[in-house]
Structure 1
Amino acid sequence: MGTIKALVKKAKKGDGEAFVSLVKQYEDVLYRTASRLLNNEEDVADAMQDAIISAYEKLHTLKTDEYFNTWIYKILINKCNSLLKKKEKVLTIDDHLLPQRRNDDFQKVELEDALNSLGDKYKLVLTLYYIVGLNCKEISEFLKEPEGTVKSRLSRAKAILRCNYYNEGGLRYEKQL
């Protein structure tokens, strides 16, 4: 398998196998991202399918070949947001994205509530940083916002979670069971 840039060039020339190879390289991260933003598997599958089809149809519009991953993530996030707007759903976190420190259902619910209490801008930055694996500069380019804004949102989101939901020992419980 060639480099990303070489695969994108082949795909732009109409090589379907090269496009499939590109998508397979990012399939897991795309799935985790869509799962993080959407409530159910059907919506995740729809968003991924729409994003991949759009990416294939609009591949010729990609200006910088080595940014394929950022470009396809943006398409996916836009598809997820479209689905959310249509269905007026709230963002949730699936169990497979929660830390596996211990199998504690209460802790999972607390973490889900904590993340869902954040504003959409904070959740998006946390998702791009921790799930997709983009750095602050890449997120800045991706969202077309200043890098300082991205760093600030990331820092504020962490501070909110730390202050409202965590203490040194882990999640703060209001009531012990």
Structure 2
Amino acid sequence: MANTPYCDDTALVKRARDGDAAAFEVLVRRHQDTVYRIALRVLNDPADAADASQEALVAAWRRLPDLDDPATFRAWLYRIVTRRALNTARARTPESPSDLLEGERTGRGAGPEHHTVASGLRDALAQALLDLPPQQRVCWILYEMEQMTYGEIAETVGVTTDAVRGRIHRARSHLVEALKPWR
């Protein structure tokens, strides 16, 4: 078990399906930050994101035996959290942008003017993201911020790659228009 942290996800999933809770714990540690970040960017509320993340990880543990292909664990887990977050988002309307872009900060060496402009642009982008329909927002976030491929996103959100391309294109068009004042 000493080498568990160095196993790939597929091996860990197989071990976890055989009842190895420590293997699943390693999977959780590997993916929990991304799971939370996806939920936060979709929901724009840290408490709701934490709840959705927790629920997604518990659901993944419970439904792990139902996962057909252990090699698809990452996309499967991200699909679970995306659906949880979208269901929560549909149940309420976000009031204002907070920190959708958590972790997307400017460098330390920049001066106050740069920080002010960057902060305003970041807030404008956060608001523009909130104005997107949730399905477009999720696809854009997974592509641009999580560097997932169209195929991975399609698998995650349960649509075709063409649908993902269309959603990302519409999201980009909206964001370009919304951010015109910042050019």
Same fold, judged at TM 0.5 (above): yes
CA RMSD of aligned residues (A): 2.1
SS for the counterpart of 2:85 is helix
Runs in 1 of length 4+ with deviation above 6 angstroms?
A: none
By how many angstroms is 1:90 displaced? 2.3
Counterpart selection for 2:15 from 10, 18, 21: 10
**Counterpart of 1:80 in structure 2: which amino acid?**
A
Task: Give the counterpart of 1:129 among 134, 139, 143.
Answer: 143
Listed one character per residue, the Cα deviations across residues 62-82 of structure 1 (whole Å, up to 9, x for unaligned) are 011011111111111122223
Q: Is the 8 A contact 1:4 1:66 kept in 2?
A: yes
Structure 2 residue 153 is the aligned partner of structure 1 residue 147: no
Q: Percent identity?
A: 28
Gaps of at least 5 residues in structure 2 are 1-5, 108-113
Q: CA deviation at 1:98?
A: 4.3
TM-score between the two structures when normalised by the length of structure 2: 0.81
For 2:93, give the aligned amino acid.
K
CA contact (8 A) 2:36 2:49 kept: yes
Q: How many corresponding residue pairs?
A: 168
- Rounded to whole Å, the distance in 1 between the matches of 2:149 and 2:47 is 29
Alignment TM-score, normalising by the size of structure 1:
0.84
| Mapped pair 1:162 → 2:168 | no
**What's the secondary structure of 2:167's corresponding residue?**
helix
CA contact (8 A) 1:36 1:97 kept: no
- In the alignment, which residue of structure 2 is the partner of 1:20? 25
CA distance, structure 2, for counterparts of residue 83 and residue 14 of structure 1: 31
For residues 92-140 of structure 1, the C-alpha deviation after alignment (integer angstroms, 9 at most, x for no partner) is: 4515254537422432322222222222221111012123321011212
